[in-house]
Amino acid sequence: MEKIGPIEMDLQVLVGKEIKASGRTIWPVTRIAVLKGCGDMVLSIQIKPLAMLILEPAGSYAVSFAGEPMTIEAILELAPSLRDVLEKAGEAGQD
Amino acid sequence: MLFSYPGMFIPAIFILLLIILAILLLAPFNLSLDLGKKGPLIWGSIRLAWLGIALRKVEISPQSADELLASIRKEKTGKEDRAVDENKTTGKEVAAATEKKNEPGGKKGREQDEKELDGKRERREKGEPTDATRHPSISSLIDVAPPLAKILWDLLRSIRFKNSSCRLCFGLNDPAQTAIISGYLWFLASALGIFSANISINPWFDGERLEGELIAEIEARLLSPVFAVIKALQVREIRLLLKEMLGWT
């Protein structure tokens, strides 16, 4: 939480709801910025998609919306909660 | 003294009726709402009052959402059971009436029913509206939309929000959706003109959640709806729509 006078900026990188499409599972990673005024009053919310983790039967990979190549490690750094998703997908693959 | 003169009796009654009517139209109706949810607990009270007299009061003592749903379901089942019992009784009455009709003396009634049915069938075949087909046409609805919107807006403006405060904290299973819905709610609050310091809508991005409190005192007078109805009846399009719906055209 960043505080600029009476205004606070709450920045969070969160994993969205999974999207399933033709055997693939897509996990979107978004950055949500909430600008709060006095008394926790929400002044503005900005949602920015950063990247997505794609799980396929053949393997997993990450795609960045910035247009640059992204590794699995980089997306895990952004959203550590995706580690569990990868582990579960790995277990399922082994089964 | 006033009623000792016979000529004064009728004006006195008239004035008395006017005073009663004025009280009815000008005395405000008050609706007080106090609803809340924190964790699994839900509580609330709804009170409708007129001239300080409570017309309707509903109290929800603090209980979990499951308990509340169970009590509503129980009430609903009770009502259904009562309806089934009533239907059984009415069924018996209908059966008795049919038996009466089938008797030699009930021939006239049967003929009348058959005539009614034939009339309805003929009207349906000709494309004329029957009781069930009195729907307004789309063009009438389009014509009536602007004056109706104006009247509804006047009606809405006559409702006064006093001491209202709303605190809502909610979260959906998708943080992006939570943020979008939060934006919609702020838009709605702003569009309804209730954008004030008493409203707090906080999005919760760490999972599903619904908590909040709504306290509102709403005041409305009967005068405004009565005026709105009179105003509506003065508009030609609305009169035409009503005639169409009542089957007078």
Please give, rounded to a whole number of angstroms, the shortest distance from the CA of B163 to a CA of chain A. 18
Provide the pLDDT for residue B171. Answer: 93
pLDDT at A63 over 80: yes
ipTM value for the complex: 0.78
What average pLDDT is seen over chain A?
86
Per-residue pLDDT tens over the stretch B161-203: 887 888 899 999 888 899 889 989 888 888 777 656 678 888 9
Provide the pLDDT for residue A15. Answer: 92
Amino acid at B36: G
Cross-chain residue pair A16–B175, CB shorter than 8 Å: yes
Per-residue pLDDT tens over the stretch B73-132: 777 777 677 766 666 666 666 556 555 555 555 555 566 666 666 665 665 555 555 554
Reported as type and span, the H/E element at residue B88 is helix B65-102
Please give, rounded to a whole number of angstroms, the shortest distance from the CA of A74 to a CA of chain B. 21
pLDDT at A59 over 90: no
What is the model's pTM?
0.59
Candidate from B175, B182, B186 with C-beta closest to A30 = B175
Cross-chain residue pair B176–A28, CB shorter than 8 Å: yes
The ranges assigned to domains in chain A are 8-91
Is the pLDDT higher at A40 or at B24?
B24
Best residue in B170, B178, B185, B204 for a mutation probing chain A (most A CBs within 10 Å) = B178
The rounded distance, in Å, linking the Cα atoms of A43 and B186 is 10
DSSP-derived secondary structure for B179-195:
HHHHHHHHHHHHHTT--
Q: Is B233 helix (H, G, I), strand (E, B) or coil?
A: helix
Phi, psi of A61 (to 5 degrees): -155, 165
